[in-house]
Amino acid sequence: MPYPANELAIYIHWPFCKSKCPYCDFYKEVRKDVPQDEIIAQYLTDLQKYHKMTSDRTIKSVFFGGGTPSLIEPRNIEKILNKIQQLWPIKSNIEISLEANPNTHYQTLFSDLRLAGINRLSLGIQALNDDDLRFLGRSHDLATARKCLNEVIKTFDNHSVDLIYARPTQDIKQWQNELNEIVTYGLKHISLYQLTIEPNTVFARKNIKPLDDDNAVKMYNLTRNFLAQNGYEHYEVSNFAKHGFQSLHNLTYWQGGDYIGIGKSAHGRLKLNNRFITTVYPFIHEEISPQERAEELLIMGLRLTQGINLQEFENICGLPFYQCINKQKLQQLKELGLLHETDSHIYPTYDGMLLLNQIVVELCA
Ligand SMILES: C[S@@+](CC[C@H](N)C(=O)[O-])C[C@H]1O[C@@H](n2cnc3c(N)ncnc32)[C@H](O)[C@@H]1O
Ligand code: SF4
């Protein structure tokens, strides 16, 4: 099926948090007085500006990410969604997601968000025990996490949760307990990230060491096998979904679709008149070459278990896949059992998923 080039995804970044988590290197600010209405007014103007470049597109997804977008007042979410609807045609099955942090919970938060137009709620739980929530510097406890999970399941038909594992002192048994619990909620989607110690974070400054590789690999394999047994398809390195519930928005990034980014630090990718434009908010635009776009498609596409669709790759960047990679290295990676090739796709094997960074370096050599 040809990739729908007339579709567009919209990312709205809310860069404010109640507190800073010591592992996090996403762009965020902690401020007492956030001039929310002013910022939202600016977002509406910015949507209008981006519309001028993309008026022929249909919106397939909107994603409110952060930072902590559950700090946006629901009436402001509604304003943004109304504006988007005024400006562009909307796909009938549009996905409208919002990332919520349990530390912003109040009694009507989820029902208010649903009424405002959110149809997919992604909850940042991170850990399912109080000790590790404290270690991760989260300002919610396990009881609040569970309360939020139950409310989200009741309020939305489409939902997701984020957990971070491979914490320095975590053992396999403890992680298994958390997995046992998370599958009981009937969530449609689960994102499970291995803790990375990012430069310039509090964890890096405190010299916190990540879990050793052997145990991290054991936990990843346990995660993949256990979630498959529980009806979750592993479709991207860190993402698992019930059938039909992969994240449409995030697939745009991994499959090389177009998106715009609104809000400080948000970025975007647009193909306009066969030119490849990268955008950084507010309106810093840079053109990249087809080769550069091809490399991005390779890096992002191999994150998917279904891998890269060779025809789509060429449709998007205009270059045949085999012209963009080192064919000898591809052959070696196949012989090592790390990549698999069919007439239509190249994808990482079960073992290959563990070595994606090295695979990309080899293919681009
Ligand atoms: C930008 S955060 C947004 C979620 C929301 N702000 C929250 O914390 O609840 C997206 C997700 O990235 C993950 N994440 C952030 N930093 C990470 C790190 N250093 N290692 C692993 N996962 C991380 C967390 O699971 C987090 O929920
Ligand atoms: S993990 Fe979420 S809440 Fe914590 S600092 Fe990062 S963006 Fe903010």
Domains of the chain: 7-251 (3.20.20.70), 308-365 (no CATH)
Nearest CA residue ID for atom 2, ligand 2:
67
Atom of ligand 2 nearest to the CA of 103: 3
Q: Is the CB of 137 under 6 A from ligand 2?
A: no
What is the model's pLDDT at position 238?
A: 98
What is the model's pLDDT at position 270?
A: 97
Residue 3 pLDDT grade (very low, low, confident, very high; cuts 50, 70, 90): low
Determine the average pLDDT of the residues in 16-26. 96
Question: Phi and psi of 127, rounded to 5°?
Answer: -155, 150
Does this model's pTM top 0.95? My answer is: yes
Q: How far is the CA of 215 from the centre of ligand 2 (A)?
A: 26
Enumerate long-range contacts of 124-131, CB under 8 Å, 24 or more apart. Answer: 124/99, 124/100, 124/161, 124/162, 125/149, 125/161, 125/162, 125/163, 126/162, 126/163, 126/164, 127/163, 127/164, 127/167, 127/178, 128/163, 128/177, 128/178, 128/181, 128/182, 129/174, 129/177, 129/178
Q: How far is the CA of 26 from the centre of ligand 2 (A)?
A: 7
What's the pLDDT tens digit per position in 197-249? 999 999 999 999 999 999 999 999 999 999 999 999 999 999 999 999 999 99
**Percent share of the chain, pLDDT over 90:** 96
What is the model's pLDDT at position 2?
A: 46
Q: Is the CB of 48 under 6 A from ligand 1?
A: no
pLDDT score of 1 more than 70:
no
